[in-house]
Amino acid sequence: MFDVVIIGAGFSGLQAAYTAQQAGLSVAVIEARDRVGGKVWSVPLASGRGCVELGAAWINDSLQPRIWAYAERFGLKVVKQRLEGRAVMQENPEARFEFPFGITPDFTPEEKRNLEYIRDHIQAESLKPGLPSVEDDDVSLDQYVRRLGALPQTIKMVNLWAQVMHGVESTEESAAWFIDYCRRNRGLLAIRADDSSGGQYMRFQDGAQSVANRIASLIGESNIHLSSPVVSIQNDKSYVSITTADGRAFTARKCILSIPSTMYRELNISPQLSQPVQAVTNGTVLGDYNKAIVCYDRPWWRDHGFNGYFASYSGPVILARDTSVDERRHFSLTCFVNGERGREWSKLYPHERRAVVLKQIAKIFKADENSEAFRPIEVFDQIWKHERFSRGALAPITKLGHLTRYDSVYGKPVGNLHFVGTEYSPEWKGYMEGALCSGEIGAQEVISAIRKGQAAKL
């Protein structure tokens, strides 16, 4: 019998296993995929110039201590997000304008004042401690900003925030969930920032999955069981029994579930989770969060003074960044195709998905049909809804009203079951840092419970 079995070898599961192991507990990690990392997935380029990040990519060296400690411990090189040059805003398929990166786009004075008012209001709310109000949880983010007097341009921008940050429309998440997400991430401005004040400051030269692989090595390969989907969990009074699809059985004092709450319903958990826990977890959804990564032989967009960043109301790409690693001669644009635009784009054939992305990139950067925009050396796309063991990204979003109604049970232990994941993190929710934080907390819950049980027996 193990002290603890961890289901899921994403960042939160790996951290939970490592923390428990360091405390002297015996651990086993069960992972459905044939790799570790979860929604962190770095894929090598055929050109040999490095890798692309199909999942999580960005970190901050001063604001995210856990992930940065691993970067230093493992000696991993990072690259800062490139900001030099002009950004582009696409208002519709035929209208675009350029602006200096880092400032409010050049809307009319009235539109700019309105947008900054709504932005500053949400920023102020996101810096308050505690859970948002029940009233804000019962309305969508779209309704919330309309009640604040948002003008059409501001409504579109707020919807873009929801698409970029969560893969949903502003009508599909509660204002409270959005504000709470910002509160756990040092405020709205920190989430949106690409400089040292925010979450999109640095990337790993050799891919974020290198961190997952190194943590797995610390835990020990013999303690990690890949390609082992779990089919049933028996949560008894004094132990937990887990059975995998290939018929293997694991028994432990405690079990840590490190998968999105949206997927709990797919596990045969006995006895069933309580009605309140089922209500909140059955109500969570994962966003349509997709990437198209276009790799070029050189960063041709910089020749024209662009930094590679653009945002779009019309899509299909709603936001893009330059994700090049110049030292490796790897030059790429990472395009996010999220929310409703992502849902429609994901239904296209692969060649159609590629074609519309390249056409939009060319239009954004004013490139003609003979431009290098249409001559990438490699193209990747990742649709997280199609991933059997992810079903979307980033963090599960609670149903309107559920965040506050079920706060007392959401993510809390049930018998010998404990729950971790970036969705539960009190800081940097939705980021790798948040996953590590939640994994630490979940492991400490298990360590305390086991030690308390041992003391009681003595």
User: What DSSP string runs through 208-265?
Assistant: THHHHHHHHHHH-GGGEE-S--EEEEEE-SS-EEEEETTS-EEEEEEEEE-S-GGGGG
Query: What structural domains does the chain harbor?
Result: 2-39+208-286+397-456 (3.50.50.60), 78-83+198-204+289-386 (3.90.660.10), 106-192 (1.10.405.10)
Mean pLDDT over residues 429-449, rounded? 98
pLDDT at 458: 40
Q: What is the mean pLDDT of the chain?
A: 96
Cis peptide before 394 (omega within 30 of 0): yes
Higher pLDDT, 360 or 457: 360
pLDDT at 100: 85
The H-or-E segment that residue 44 falls in is strand 42-44
Q: In DSSP terms, which residues pair with 53 in a beta bridge?
A: 42
Contacts of 222 (CB under 8 A, 6+ apart): none
Residue 451 has pLDDT above 90, yes or no: yes
Q: pLDDT confidence of 457, banded at 50, 70, 90?
A: low
Mean pLDDT over residues 402-406, rounded? 98
pLDDT at 454: 67
In 267-367, alpha helices (H): 275-282, 339-345, 350-364
Binding site for substrate: residue ranges?
Answer: 336
What percentage of the chain exceeds 70 in pLDDT?
A: 98
**How confident is the model over 173-227, as pLDDT tens digits?**
999 999 999 999 999 999 999 999 999 999 999 999 999 999 999 999 999 999 9
Binding site: residue ranges?
Answer: 12, 31-32, 230, 336, 423
How much is the CA Rg of the chain, to the nearest whole Å?
22
Mean pLDDT over residues 14-39, rounded? 98
Residue 241 has pLDDT above 60, yes or no: yes
**How confident is the model over 77-125, as pLDDT tens digits?**
999 999 999 999 999 999 999 988 766 677 889 999 999 999 999 999 9
pLDDT at 455: 59
Binding site for FAD: residue ranges?
Answer: 12, 31-32, 230, 423
Contact 442, 256 (CB under 8 A): yes
